[in-house]
């Protein structure tokens, strides 16, 4: 089920080192996670494209999707109201969440970070050039991130400081992605995050798992600011990860471009 080289669809498995999200540090040798992406309505309905070694995986993902879509729907409404937009302004750009025949680059990503003791080549403490997941912004509209209690996730604040997103049981982290930053004209900047190798070997010698639901707009939607771009941002580079301006990007092309840039397979 490994992702095929140069895949047009990014559905499937990728192993440690197959994806490099860290755009800023060429010194990072390897990102140590493996993950399974569930993308596209055709792929995600085809049982043969799911790992047969894990019985019930597709069923669990399907159930997870229903709950996640309900939550994303509510969040999109809240965010739109917060921005002073009509309540359905974001929901109507993500109709595929309810109508699974509409193409999109939305993804469910299940990540597994193996215990470091099973990787003897890794130098714990981030000084070996390895990291669990490199610094990046998500390239979708929002991400709902479910992490276990192991820890290591850091978030970079707008003032540039890294803070730990210490796991809180039964909580979900809401991450603003590249496309929400554009939609909101810079009011909700995309949030850089990473997963570090912790110094505590008791924790890094346990597996860590996370699950992300990241809705992207309907396939052929052009994404543009729904509000005037914040004055101080006009004409400035938007972020080191995302597009270099707030100009219109096509949702499909955008996610594809970022995905292809990160994939080393
Ligand atoms: O594993 C995590 O907590 C973060 C995963 C992540 O950032 C991603 O998949 O985009
Ligand atoms: Fe992420």
User: In the prediction, which pLDDT does 120 show?
Assistant: 57
Output the six-digit token pair for 62: 């399907």
Q: Which atom of ligand 1 is nearest to the CA of 143?
A: 10
Residue 244 confidence (pLDDT) above 60:
no
Question: What count of other Cβ atoms lies within 10 Å of the Cβ of residue 1?
Answer: 12
Most confident of 124-133, 159-168, 200-209, 235-244: 159-168
Q: Which atom of ligand 1 is nearest to the CA of 165?
A: 3
Q: Which atom of ligand 1 is nearest to the CA of 136?
A: 7
User: In the prediction, which pLDDT does 125 show?
Assistant: 47
d(CA 30, CA 79): 35
User: In the prediction, which pLDDT does 219 show?
Assistant: 84
pLDDT tens digits, one per residue of 103-122:
888 999 999 988 877 765 65
| Whole-number percent of the chain with pLDDT over 90 | 44
CA 145 – ligand 1 centroid, Å: 7
- Whether complex ipTM tops 0.95: yes
Enumerate residues with CB within 5 Å of ligand 2 (an ion): 138
12-259 architecture in CATH? Sandwich (2.60)
Backbone angles phi, psi at 68, to 5 degrees: -65, -40
Calculated CA dihedral for residues 24, 177, 243, 126, nearest 10 degrees: 0
Residue nearest to atom 8 of ligand 1 (CA): 212
User: What is residue 124's three-state secondary structure?
Assistant: coil
Q: Is 111 in the pocket of ligand 1 (CB under 6 A)?
A: yes
Which is higher by pLDDT, 3 or 77?
A: 77
User: What is residue 173's three-state secondary structure?
Assistant: strand
d(CA 247, CA 193): 24
CA 8 – ligand 1 centroid, Å: 22
CA dist 166 → 78, 147, 151, 172, 259 (Å): 25, 10, 6, 12, 27
Question: What is the pLDDT confidence band of residue 129, given thresholds at 50, 70 and 90?
Answer: low
What pTM value is reported for the model? 0.90
Ranking 38-42, 187-191, 193-197, 255-259 by mean pLDDT, the lowest is 255-259
Q: Is 14 in the pocket of ligand 1 (CB under 6 A)?
A: no
Contact between 194 and 82 under an 8 Å Cβ cutoff? The reply is no
Q: Where are the domains of the chain?
A: 12-259
Mark 42-75 as b/e (b = at least 16 C-beta within 10 Å): ebbeeeebbeeeeeebbeebeebbeebbeebbeb
Which is higher by pLDDT, 198 or 64?
A: 64
Element (H or E) spanning 67, and its range? helix 57-82
Contact between 175 and 147 under an 8 Å Cβ cutoff? The reply is no
Residue nearest to atom 5 of ligand 1 (CA): 210
Q: Which atom of ligand 1 is nearest to the CA of 214?
A: 10
User: What is residue 164's three-state secondary structure?
Assistant: strand
DSSP secondary structure letter of residue 223: E
């Amino acid at each position: 089920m490994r992702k095929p080289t140069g895949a047009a669809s990014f559905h499937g498995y990728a192993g440690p080192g197959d994806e490099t999200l860290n755009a800023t540090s060429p010194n990072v040798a390897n990102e140590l996670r493996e993950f399974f992406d569930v993308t596209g309505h055709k792929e995600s309905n085809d049982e043969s494209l799911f790992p047969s070694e894990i019985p019930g995986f597709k069923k669990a993902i399907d159930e997870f999707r229903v709950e996640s879509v309900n939550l994303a729907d509510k969040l999109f409404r809240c965010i739109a109201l917060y921005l002073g937009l009509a309540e359905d302004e974001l929901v109507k750009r993500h109709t595929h969440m309810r109508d699974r025949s509409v193409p999109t680059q939305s993804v469910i990503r299940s990540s597994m970070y193996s215990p470091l003791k099973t990787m003897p080549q890794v130098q714990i403490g981030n000084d070996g050039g390895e990291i669990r997941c490199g610094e990046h912004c998500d390239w979708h509209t929002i991400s709902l991130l479910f992490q276990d209690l192991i820890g290591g996730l850091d978030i970079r604040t707008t003032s540039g400081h890294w803070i730990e997103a210490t796991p809180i049981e039964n909580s979900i982290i809401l991450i603003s992605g590249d496309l929400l930053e554009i939609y909101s004209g810079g009011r909700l900047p995309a949030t850089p995050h990473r997963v570090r190798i912790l110094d505590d070997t008791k924790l890094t010698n346990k597996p860590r798992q996370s699950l992300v639901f990241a809705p992207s707009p309907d396939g052929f939607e052009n994404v543009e600011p729904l509000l005037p771009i914040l004055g101080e941002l006009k004409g400035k580079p938007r972020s080191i990860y995302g597009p270099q301006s707030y100009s219109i990007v096509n949702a499909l092309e955008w996610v594809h471009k970022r995905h292809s840039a990160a994939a080393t397979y």
